[in-house]
Amino acid sequence: MLRITEEIWNQGRVELIDELIAEDLVDHVELPDLPPSGRERYRASFEAMRAAFSDFRNPLELVVADNDLAVSYGRALGTNDGDLMGIPATGKTIDVPVWGMLRFRDGQAIERWGLMDMMTMTQQLGLMG
């Protein structure tokens, strides 16, 4: 969990997706217009977030692990300098709570869940009252 978050999401090392994310990843995160499952869906979610927030970071405040599961709580931070799901860039920054959970097998994430506070994010981007 820590390596995926720090090296892929915070440092932008997209090449590590092949090493750390299983090819047949089951993804429970609701993301429109992405492949239905697998490593390529994960890669597409990373690329979409980086396209919308080129300076995206996900500092973690808490990680709890038990057997093959790891759960994290942190922040999603970044400046909206690119299109986000068809919405033009606002130039505004976000700082919203996020949580995630990964199931691992043989050093790779095989299943993912996660939530981001979309209400707060849309308010911070000035997209709603």
Ordered by where they begin, the domains of the chain are: 2-124 (3.10.450.50)
- CA 38 and chain centroid, separation: 15
* Interval 53-69: pLDDT, tens: 999 999 999 999 999 99
Digit-coded pLDDT (tens) for 115-127: 999 999 999 999 9
Query: pLDDT category, 129, cuts 50, 70, 90?
Result: low
Q: How confident is the model at residue 74 (pLDDT cuts 50, 70, 90)?
A: very high
- Encoding tokens for residue 124? 């911070």
CA distance 64 to 55: 26
Which residues, 6+ apart, have CB-to-CB distance to 95 below 8 Å? 75, 76, 77, 124
pTM: 0.92
Are 108 and 20 a contacting pair, CB within 8 Å? Answer: yes
pLDDT of res. 114: 96
The pLDDT-based confidence of 128 (bands split at 50, 70, 90) is confident
Q: What is the pLDDT of residue 33?
A: 84
CA dist 129 and 43 (Å) reads 32
